[in-house]
Each structure stands twice: as C-alpha cells, then as structure tokens.
C-alpha cells in the first residue's frame, strides 16, 4: 500500500443517487423461505431477489388485490 495517494483528479461518485437504503421490514417466515429457496436456485442473494421483485412491481405499477372479510 502506498503511504500517500493523489486524489486531486478524483471525481464524485456518479452512482451515489442510486445507492440502496437500509430499512426494517417484517415479513412472514414462509415468504422469506420462498425467496431464499428461489434465490438459491438462481444463485443470487435473497435480499437482491426481493429487491428485484419489488422494483418490478413498482415499475409495472402493480397493485395488490386486497379482499377484506
């Protein structure tokens, strides 16, 4: 490792606006298990899979079909 680095030509991170935000969300165990199994089959982390699915829903403006008894 160098003792000193030159950052005079450094540029701001162009992806800073696209960074993910950590949140807390409560999901049913069966839902998590489903995504973990699917993620294992696909070879990707389950949290990335959940994020991809939710992003797809948001882009398609999907709305849940709620039925209240």
Q: Which residue positions in the chain have pLDDT lower than 70? A: none
The predicted structure's pLDDT at residue 26: 97
DSSP state letter for 15: T
CA dihedral 64, 61, 22, 51 (to 10 degrees): 80
DSSP state letter for 25: -
Average pLDDT, the chain: 93
């Amino acid at each position: 490792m160098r003792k000193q680095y030159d950052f005079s030509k450094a540029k701001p991170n162009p992806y800073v606006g696209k960074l993910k935000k950590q949140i807390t969300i409560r999901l049913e165990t069966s839902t998590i298990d489903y995504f973990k199994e699917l993620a294992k089959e696909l070879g990707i982390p389950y949290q990335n899979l959940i994020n991809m699915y939710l992003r797809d829903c948001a882009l398609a403006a999907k709305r849940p079909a709620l039925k209240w008894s």
